[in-house]
Structure 1
Amino acid sequence: MPRTERPRAPARAWFTGPGFAPAPDPAADPAGPRLVCFGYAGGTPSVFRDWADGVGPGVTVVPVLLPGRGLRSEEAPYTEMAELARDATEALVAAGHAAPGARHVFFGHSMGALLAYEVACALRDRGLSGPRHLFVSGSRAPHLYGGPDGQDLGDDALRQLVRDLGALRPDDRVGSAYLERRLPVLRADLALCARYRWRPRRPLGCPMTAFSADRDPIALPAQVEAWRAYTAASLLHRRVRGGHFFLHGPARLPLLRELRAELTRTAEEREPSWTH
């Protein structure tokens, strides 16, 4: 049976919500720094809501809103990375977030790191401006994805996985209405990661920074270090304290400092900074 074509959402739907940037201000500097953020499996862009304060003035934070979440909760989530990366790339281009000369940086956590990488590859394939830096966080390298990652777990086991990984907020509990609403999206995202198969491509040309947490059971330091093969430039591997969702803990502060330093670095400053 042929696959039903997914209706294409308008570009603004991918960047809608409190604190989001639907499109660049025409009066603003088109080359101004822009931080495009890709979230983790089952998550929402709310994790990036206050990042503009952390990365400093003059930076536009652009969280990517995927189907099944927030104002797109009525849309079915993707279960194939190739389709998701294609449509996310088209939305970025249509919204002007990957304009020629733009100083944009990608950040992705867990599944979001994989998506950020695939979007960067898609932009390069189209001859468009890719990120000037790629930050990957809490994610093993792309060739290490695939296979069972929890998408076949029963609801009780999936709830337990969420709790064990520390994904719940302090005021959440297993069985809460919030978590129950998130389970179908989480299951779809896990299926997407399990079905993903990396295809060999030349390394990206941009520098990368990879973050691994010392108590993360699903992105071990050696698996995060394996991102080094994905850049023809350089990779810095930052090790932080915390579990898989260290974004919600104290390690979030040094991460934001690292992002701010890169986003405000001038072209003259960048070259010698990334030679090790």
Structure 2
Amino acid sequence: MFPVETTSRTAGWFPGPAAGDAGARPLVCIPYAGGTASVYRGWQERLGADIHVVPAQLPGRGRRLREPPHTALEPLVTALATALVEAELSHDYALFGHSMGALLAYEVACELRERGEPEPSHLFVSGSRAPHLYGTREDHLLPDDALRELVSDLGGLDRDRAVDAAYFERRLPVLRADLRVCETYRWRPRAPLRCPMTAFSASRDALASAPQTEAWRAYTSGSFLRRHLDGGHFFLNGGPSRDRLLRQLRDELDHVRTGPDAGPQPVNARRNAPWTS
């Protein structure tokens, strides 16, 4: 696990190390349902010293194991947005979220905007249908065996059966809570964000098809790009698609202009193409 900043009031939320470079821009990374901050282990080395990778640890996992996980999105959004402000991570920051993390990243961006805080310099959403398309599944109600089979079919369990069974048993309460967060969520119409957005879809993702991922386009008035990768729902966990994802993140972050003098992001024809891989 990442080293913990024990002096910070928000160390539970953001257990990673402090930025090595005082000028590094935060990239706050939110995990998928049932996931922990360790999903983003190794990203710092790949993205470079000018980016400060800040993995978020949600209640009910890791060093927060004794805290009950949230079962509704609104209080989770409020708590995470407050933690970002208190940790002074709500300025010149970017957000990345995968699956449930993408939904949470979007709602946190909206919450911060409503509080008068800046929007992210860039919002990255991955492995997620657009918010208005949520609410069609009830996986959190599945029996244990059926839920385990679903996760296995999605590629979330790829070790030997004995290890998988023990791992899944430990993660089950948090996974059910997170799935309930997603499946009881109902999008509330509001103005689109102004920040640039990049959405990542995967060729064999059974939970977020290419058209469902493309539907994120309506959620920003800034530039939008969808990148299409090979793999299933958990493509970010390893292999060539993970490498490509990190290269594309690095490329996008290199072009982010932040600060009060940056001005609006220019509309780029390539970024706004309806289908870009």
Q: Give the alignment's TM-score, normalised by structure 2.
A: 0.87
Aligned to 2:62: 70
Query: The residue matched to 1:14 in structure 2 has which SS?
Result: coil
* CA deviation after TM superposition for structure 1 residue 265, in Å: 2.3
Q: Distance in 1 between matches of 2:65 and 2:158?
A: 20
Evaluate the alpha carbon distance shift between residue 173 and residue 143 of structure 1 in structure 2; reply closer, same or farther with a 3 A threshold.
farther
Segments of structure 1 that go 5 or more residues without pairing to the other structure are 1-8
Aligned to 2:177: 188
Q: Distance in 2 between matches of 1:173 and 1:196?
A: 34
Aligned to 1:264: 254
Q: Distance in 1 between matches of 2:256 and 2:63?
A: 36
Matched-pair identity in %: 55
Q: How many residues were matched structurally? A: 258
Residue 35 (1) aligns with residue 24 (2):
no
* CA deviation after TM superposition for structure 1 residue 49, in Å: 1.0
Segments of structure 2 that go 5 or more residues without pairing to the other structure are 1-7, 273-277
Q: Distance in 1 between matches of 2:172 and 2:214?
A: 30
The answer to whether the Cα contact below 8 Å between 1:151 and 1:187 also exists between their aligned partners in 2 is: yes
Residue 125 (1) aligns with residue 120 (2):
no
Could you give the per-residue CA deviations for residues 20-73 of structure 1, whole angstroms, max 9, x where no partner exists? 14x667x813xx321110100011111101001111222110000001110001
* Partner amino acid, structure 1, of 2:75: E
* Partner amino acid, structure 2, of 1:255: L
Query: The residue matched to 2:192 in structure 1 has which SS?
Result: coil
RMSD of equivalent CA atoms: 2.1
Q: Distance in 2 between matches of 1:148 and 1:136?
A: 20
The answer to whether the Cα contact below 8 Å between 1:149 and 1:193 also exists between their aligned partners in 2 is: no
Q: Distance in 2 between matches of 1:185 and 1:105?
A: 26
Aligned to 2:275: none
The answer to whether the Cα contact below 8 Å between 2:196 and 2:223 also exists between their aligned partners in 1 is: yes
Q: Distance in 1 between matches of 2:137 and 2:169?
A: 22
Residue 224 (1) aligns with residue 213 (2):
yes
Aligned to 1:152: 141
Aligned to 1:4: none
2:242 to 252, 255, 263: 252
Query: The residue matched to 1:151 in structure 2 has which SS?
Result: helix
* Partner amino acid, structure 2, of 1:60: H
Which structure is richer in relative contact order (CA contacts within 8 A, separation 6 or more)? 1
Aligned to 2:193: 204
* CA deviation after TM superposition for structure 1 residue 272, in Å: 6.1
Query: The residue matched to 2:201 in structure 1 has which SS?
Result: strand
Evaluate the alpha carbon distance shift between residue 10 and residue 35 of structure 1 in structure 2; reply closer, same or farther with a 3 A threshold.
same
* Partner amino acid, structure 1, of 2:192: P
* CA deviation after TM superposition for structure 1 residue 266, in Å: 5.5
Evaluate the alpha carbon distance shift between residue 159 and residue 229 of structure 1 in structure 2; reply closer, same or farther with a 3 A threshold.
same
Superposed, which structure 2 residues align to 1:40-51 within 5 Å? 40-51=32-43
- Tell which deviates more after alignment, 77-86 or 142-151: 142-151
